[in-house]
A = this chain, B = another copy of it.
Amino acid sequence: MIIELDMQSDVPIYTQLVHQIIEGIASGRLKPGEPLPSVRNLASDIGVNLHTVNKAYTLLKQDGYIQVHRQKGVVVHPEGMPPVTEDFLNKQLEELRPIVAEAICRGMTKDDLLKTVEHIYLKITQTRKE
């Protein structure tokens, strides 16, 4: 699994890590039950401090994306992913709203925007079917 970090980004590194791993799961490159590198290994591989990786893993664990198994180490949650809760939908709504609003201001039509979202969705999931 390839991790790409942007050290200049204002998005915290641990957040970028969380995003990349979630995208890895969404794309099927990371499968349920599959082991993830240890905190220390991943940290040295991508050249960040182990605490940064640790924070990312902790957040992923809290949300149910991964498990910290006392023997196998860190693995992608083997029994499916966290469900679509009401909290999640609210969070998603609050994240999407400013993006949609800005798109409207700049004159993107509804179809333009939907096509963009669809394109992203398909790009992520396409590797799944291969």
Contacts and interface: CB of A to CB of B under 8 A. Distances in A.
A129 interface: no
Contact of A93 (B23, B95, B120): B120
Nearest to A47: B71
Interface in A1-21: 7-9, 13, 18-19
Interface in A51-75: 65, 67-72
Contacts of A72: 7
Nearest to A102: B22
A98 B23 CA distance: 7
Most buried by B among A72, A95, A96: A96
A106 B121 contact: no
Interface of A: 7-9, 13, 18-19, 22-23, 25-27, 48, 65, 67-72, 81-84, 88-89, 92-93, 95-108, 110, 113-114, 116-118, 120-122, 124-125
29 contacts: A7-B69, A7-B70, A8-B67, A8-B68, A8-B69, A13-B70, A19-B97, A19-B98, A23-B97, A23-B98, A23-B101, A26-B100, A27-B101, A48-B71, A65-B105, A81-B105, A81-B106, A81-B107, A82-B105, A83-B106, A88-B106, A92-B102, A92-B116, A93-B116, A95-B99, A97-B120, A104-B121, A113-B117, A114-B114
